[in-house]
A and B are shown apart, each in its own frame.
Chain A
Amino acid sequence: MAKMTIDGKEHEFEDGMNLFEACAVARGENLPHFCYHPGLSIAGVCRMCQVEVEGMPKLMIACNSQVKDGMVVHTRNERVDGAVRQILNFHLLHHPVDCPVCDQAGECSLQDFYMANGLYEADVDIEDKIAKGKVKPIGEMVMLDAERCVLCARCTRFTTEITQTHEMGIFNRGDHSEIDVAPGKTLDNNYSLNTVDICPVGALTSRDFRFRRRVWWLSETDGICHGCATGCNMSIHHSEGIVYRTKPRDNMDVNRYWMCDHGRTLYHEIAESDRLTQPSVRKARGELAQTASWDHAYRSIEAAGKALGGDDAALMIILSPHATVEELYAAKSVLSDSVGGALLGYRLRGSEIGEGDELLFDADRTPNAAGAKKLGLAEYDAKQLEAAANEKTMLLVVGGDLALAAPDAGAALSKFGCVVYLGWQENSTSMLADIVLPTSHYAEREGTFVNREGRAQTFAAAIDAPGEARDPLRVIRELGALFGHEPTWDGIEAVRSELCAREGAFAAMAQGVGPLGLALDAAAESEVERA
Chain B
Amino acid sequence: MSGDLRSGRIVIVGASLAGLRAAEALRDEGFTGSLTLVGDEPHLPYDRPPLSKQVLLGRARAEECGLPARRALQARWRLGVGAVGVDTAGKRVLLADGEQVPYDRLLIATGTRARPWPDPGEAALDGVFTVRTVGDASRLAERLDAGPRRVLVIGAGFTGSEIASACRERGLAVTVAERGRAPLIGALGGTVGAWATKLQLAHGVDLRCGVTVSALKGENGRLTGAEFSDGSRIDADVAVVALGAVRNTEWLADSGLAAGPRGVACDAGCRVFDMYGIVSDDVFVAGDVARFPHPLFEYQLIALEHWGNAVAQAEVAAHNMVSSGPHRRPHLSVPAFWSSQFGLNIKSVGVPTFSDQVVIAQGAPEERRLVAVYGYRGRVTAAVAVNRAKWLEHYQRLIETAAPFPPGPGAADFVDGSEPVPSDVPDPRVLSHGPTVALTGHLPDRRLTLLRPGG
Q: Do A and B come from one complex?
A: no
Q: Taking beta carbons and an 8 Å cutoff, which residues of B are in contact with A?
A: none
